[in-house]
Amino acid sequence: FGLLLATTNRGKMAELRVLLGDLPVEFSSLAEMLPGRPPVSEDGHTFEENALIKARAAAGEAMMVTLAEDSGLSVDALGGQPGVRSARYAREGATDGENNEALLAALKDVPEAERKARFHCVMVLLDPWSEEPPVIVEGRCEGSIGREARGAGGFGYDPLFVVEGFGRTMAELGDDEKNQVSHRSQAVKALRPALEALVAR
């Protein structure tokens, strides 16, 4: 069957295609199914609210089974920021580089032991033809924020995020390694039974 991957983020899209690649599913993108559509306003206060906003909007417009996700970085020393504002931490429409710079600046005086952080990913699977409630799952990945950008892989805050137990940033891991430990891969793992049930239908 066809599954709409409701994201405008190219890094997410690339990872999702790999993480879900073994399923007998035909993936569609927003660009293909809803070309020219402006992004929905993500005004929720939690990852879950925003993932639901994105899933409902896309599924309702395309009338396709839809997977949407909201993700971000939560830094203890910043009281959980940037959180749901991760994509626009430096400013609305910020580049990944600008957000990384803003985060390093905010943590300039924070010592090593207090730089703990984690990535969150909340995924919503929504079938607009079904009466069932959407399936909602979460994945997390623990780590800490380094003092400089390192590595060329991944996207977003990956060059600053030192993965717990690895001593390397997410951007220094290979794609396969990232896909074994990332918040997104944990969320996909949790979503797998629901996806397999859909495929078997």
Verify binding: residue 194, ligand ITT, rule CB under 6 A.
Answer: no
DSSP 122: E
Instruction: Name, in order, each residue with C-beta under 8 angstroms of 137's C-beta and a sequence gap of 6 or more.
Output: 122, 123, 187, 190, 191, 194
Location of structure tokens 């995020």? 161
Query: Which residues form the catalytic set?
Result: 70
**Using N-to-C axis directions, what is the helix angle for 183-200 and 10-19, rounded to 10°?**
60
Binding mask of the shown chain, residues 105 to 144, with x at each position contacting ligand ITT by CB under 6 A: --------------x-------------------------
Pick out residues in 64-93 that bind ligand ITT (CB under 6 A). Answer: 70-73, 86-87
Which structure tokens are listed for 58?
A: 């896309």
Cα–Cα distance between 147 and 59 in angstroms, integer?
Answer: 41
Verify binding: residue 100, ligand ITT, rule CB under 6 A.
Answer: no
- Residue closer to ligand ITT by CB (options 70, 138) is 70
Verify binding: residue 12, ligand ITT, rule CB under 6 A.
Answer: yes
Site residue total, ligand ITT (CB under 6 A): 23
Maximum Cα interatomic distance, the chain, rounded to a whole number of Å: 54
Positions in the binding site for ligand ITT (CB under 6 A): 7-9, 12, 42, 54, 70-73, 86-87, 96, 99, 119, 154-158, 170, 182, 184
